[in-house]
Amino acid sequence: MNILVTIAGRGGSKGVPDKNIRPLAGKPLIAHSIEQAKKWGRAKHIVVSSDSQKIIEVAKKYGALAPFVRPNELAGDTADKLSVIRHALEESEKKYETKYDLVVDMDITAPLRKKNDLENMYQLFIQKKPKLIFSVVTAHKNPYFNMVELENGVARLCKHLNSPITRRQDAPKVYAMNASLYFYHPDFLKTNPKSLFTDQTLIYEMDDVSGIDIDREIDFQLVEFLMQKGLC
């Protein structure tokens, strides 16, 4: 099976400045994902998509390919991730003259994922043949029990059942997308999708630690602490 791993990172980061190449446990943040992909061992090509020459050079140093510079229209705050991944797929197909059977997108900001997460999602993809799979963690807030929205200025539960939920344990289990791993069938990406949700979308549950996503400075500090203490 020809597998393309994509790792996408813009030069600008508002939450944590220079996040994608900031040192974490002795190496740039992006290097952790590149090395995880290499250790997994199933990828035909590991391709980084970036508008930043600095990120591209760091990625190459750690063994990734960077056959293109991401165009400006896909590098701004309004660019959607699906378009970025589709562009990486199409450019890689042309550059390496390869038809891929699977595209695996690894988010730079999830450095604690395990090799087993990649392999388990791969096996799920092979067995179920979905359009896509994305990783999740168990949500600690539940829209049936303790998440509210305002309706005409009045607080209401986000989701309702016929009978009110009075204990968290009785609420339907819900998951939070953790932006760590996405497995795409290439044909799905080529339809120019606007949403991840289809009649063939599956999830893969990660544990809370492996699934941490670095979005804010406090997240970075937490991941650094966990790595220093050997707790991940």
* Residue 16, pLDDT above cutoff 90: no
Boundaries of every domain in the chain: 3-137+175-228, 140-173
d(CA 52, CA 217) in angstroms, rounded, equals 21
Kind of pairing, strands 23-24 and 3-8? unpaired
* pLDDT tens by residue, 31-68: 999 999 999 999 999 999 999 999 999 999 999 999 99
Q: Which CATH number fits domain 3-137+175-228: 1.10.10.10, 3.90.550.10, 3.30.70.1230, 3.20.20.140?
A: 3.90.550.10
Task: Please state, as a whole number, how many other Cβ atoms lie within 10 Å of the Cβ of residue 69.
Answer: 13
* Residue 12, pLDDT above cutoff 80: no
d(CA 13, CA 9) in angstroms, rounded, equals 9
Radius of gyration of the chain (CA): 19
Which pLDDT belongs to residue 1? Answer: 96
Which pLDDT belongs to residue 15? Answer: 62
Three-point CA angle 159, 162, 168, nearest 5°:
60
Which pLDDT belongs to residue 154? Answer: 96
pLDDT higher at 168 or 63: 63
* Residue 174, pLDDT above cutoff 90: yes
* Residue 166, pLDDT above cutoff 90: no
